[in-house]
Structure 1
Amino acid sequence: MLNVNIWVIFIAGGLNMVLGMLWYGPLFGKAWMNGMGIDPDDKKKMDEMQKTAGSGYAYSLLFAFIFGYALDLFLNLVDVSSLGFALILAAVVYLGFGIANTVKSVLWGETNRQVFMINTGFEIVFIGIMTVVAFYL
């Protein structure tokens, strides 16, 4: 039976929240809101967003836990022997499954390219850091 390290799951949740606060806050928050068509000076719109933010954070945390579990399980199943191989494997899986599906929304005009690039950058950084964490734990 494969063991999944519970710490990888918890770290994934924490990292997702902290990195998300930085990424969508001081680093790229204004550009992301601009790409989403959100005016930060529109008090009414900002209040509406804050009302639904709690469930968004909860779902983000839940899926970060699921991601941590799946990543650790996957790396154990493949039995990676080096960090370089683990990172390449994570990149290939993300390119093949993640970006391959989400890029369609940009191609068909459902998602702003700027938002796509900011979101994709977040995912790449998050997956990269979590791959390092899972490999060493």
Structure 2
Amino acid sequence: MEMQNILESINYWAVLVSGLSAFFIGGLWYSVLFGKAWMEIHNFTEDELKKSAGRVFGGAFVLAIIISFSLSMFIGPESTGSFGLFAGFMAGAFYVSTALGITYLFERKPLKLFFIDAGYHIVTFTLMGWILGTWS
């Protein structure tokens, strides 16, 4: 398939919704579910986090859209929800989380932080893949 055809076959609404899903999950993950533990590991205070929130959330949104866009090209235009779910899970668990694990090992970061962050990416990529596969 030619690059022009690939770009034309992408459902950009699905890319947007998939990217926004990362914010929904992140909002739950890093506040209600694991926010206190994550903040303690990093020695963050709520005031520190509020200072640069606009830049962080803006940058995270752009990066989530880039992830969603590339994942949609990986999943393809003629996919299903179940394949998208599987592909998203595999990407989150076996690409992102393992790469994160290597970095965390060399940086001597705590295992608890790895599980929090890797878990977020696995859940996020899985949901993104499902959205993209279902809405292809």
Residue 32 in structure 1 maps to residue 26 in structure 2: no
**Structure 1 residue aligned with 2:56:** 56
What letter matches 1:31 in structure 2?
A
Q: Deviations over 1:54-83 (max 9, x none)?
A: 111011100111111111111117x55x54
Task: With the length of structure 1 as denominator, give the TM-score of the two structures.
Answer: 0.81
**Structure 1 residue aligned with 2:115:** 117
**Percent identity between the aligned chains?**
25
Residue 126 in structure 1 maps to residue 124 in structure 2: yes
Q: Deviations over 1:81-109 (max 9, x none)?
A: x5444433333333443123211222224
Q: Deviations over 1:11-48 (max 9, x none)?
A: 1232111211111111111111122223x4xxxxx323
What letter matches 2:23 in structure 1?
M
Q: Which runs of 5+ in 2 are unaligned?
A: none
Q: Deviations over 1:114-137 (max 9, x none)?
A: 121111111111111111111110
Give, in whole Å, the separation in 2 of the partners of 1:84 and 1:13. Answer: 19
Residue 9 in structure 1 maps to residue 30 in structure 2: no
Contact 2:81 2:131 in 1 (8 A): no
Q: Which runs of 5+ in 1 are unaligned?
A: 41-45
Count of residues in correspondence between the two structures? 129
Over the aligned positions, Cα root-mean-square deviation in angstroms equals 2.0
Task: With the length of structure 2 as denominator, give the TM-score of the two structures.
Answer: 0.81
What letter matches 1:98 in structure 2?
V
**Structure 1 residue aligned with 2:76:** 76
How has the CA–CA distance of structure 1 residues 90 and 56 changed in structure 2, closer, same or farther, with 3 Å as cutoff?
same
**Structure 2 residue aligned with 1:43:** none
